[in-house]
Amino acid sequence: MFKRKFMYMCSLFALLTVCSAPVFAHELILKPSKFDAAKGEVLAIELQSTHIFIQKEEVEDISKIKAGIFQDGKLVESALNPNEPDLRIDFSVNIPDDASSVVVMANKSGDIWSVTPDGWQAGTRKSLEDRGVKVLRASMTDKFVKAIINASPSDKNFSTVVGQELEVVPVTNPADAKAGHYYQVKILFKGQPASMPVFATYDGFVTEYENTYAYYTESDENGIANIKITSPGLWIIRASKDNEPGVEGEYDYRSLRSILSIKVK
């Protein structure tokens, strides 16, 4: 009797843990072919989706993605080309003649996934329940990414706010980022400074394990987070916000992810 009760409590605990945990969605990452491009050049960009940083794992749905260069206060959209053999989305941007550092960005509207007794299933609460599926919890994840190109010591464009709902904004110029020093960013949620978890890592830090980062910190009440840079190379800085209110009948809660890509020389 005690053993059966114990096993029941363990199963219940595991179920509650799964239902309360955020969806481990693939992270969306911008990887430019290079971070220094001549004015007027057409720069190739990869949009990658992965759990291992930075290794391509899947091609996301381009119908939910808008990407391009942020110019004259708005996103100038690029054509997106799914590249299934290389597990990435390809696009390119024209580097403006009158710009020094520029911001390349992408936003992806959320996929909805639901926890069921048989595991995760794609679909809203209503669509699954209409098919007779028992939904324990439904969630949606929105993704926002940026990369800073042509960072130079004298330029201030690197700190441009593009208006993503969750945004990682450089405070330290990427041109000044150095191994052994701290790199500072500000986290904005709906345009306001926000305190939340911030993770960072660099390309090649881990190639064997998923969701593994080189550094963890939290932004303060002013949205400021300081990341210790430990290696040159491509760095990604990630902010996350979970358990935002859902939409009745569609999903119970919403998660947001935002990743900034910079090059440390």
Token pair, residue 195, equals 């305190």
pLDDT at residue 249 is higher than 50? yes
Instruction: Using alpha carbons, list the distances in angstroms from residue 96 to 5, 77, 161.
Output: 67, 14, 18
pLDDT at residue 17 is higher than 70? no
Q: What percent of the chain has pLDDT over 70?
A: 90
Please give the pLDDT value at position 22. Answer: 44
Dihedral over alpha carbons 165, 170, 174, 180 (to 10 degrees): -120
Q: CB 237: neighbour CB atoms within 10 A?
A: 24
Residue from 175, 166, 156, 139 nearest 24 by CA: 139
Instruction: Using alpha carbons, list the distances in angstroms from residue 40 to 20, 37, 93, 152, 197.
Output: 49, 8, 10, 17, 38
Of the pLDDT bands very low, low, confident and very high (cuts 50, 70, 90), residue 99 is low
> Residue ranges of the alpha helices (H) in 56-135?
125-129
Question: From edge to edge, which strands make up the β-sheet containing 27-32?
Answer: 27-32, 42-50, 88-94, 81-83
Please give the pLDDT value at position 213. Answer: 96
pLDDT tens-place string over residues 206-225: 989 999 999 999 999 999 99
Please give the pLDDT value at position 95. Answer: 92
Mean pLDDT of 73-95: 95
- What is the DSSP code (8-state) at residue 58? B
pTM of the model: 0.88
Q: How far is it, in rounded angstroms, from Cα 87 to Cα 58?
A: 5
Of the pLDDT bands very low, low, confident and very high (cuts 50, 70, 90), residue 149 is very high
Please give the pLDDT value at position 24. Answer: 57
Residue 5's contacts (CB-CB under 8 Å, 6 or more residues apart) are none
Averaged pLDDT score across all residues of the chain:
89
Instruction: Using alpha carbons, list the distances in angstroms from residue 185 to 158, 165, 178, 217.
Output: 11, 16, 14, 11
Please give the pLDDT value at position 234. Answer: 97
Please give the pLDDT value at position 98. Answer: 62
Of the pLDDT bands very low, low, confident and very high (cuts 50, 70, 90), residue 111 is confident
Mean pLDDT of 180-205: 97
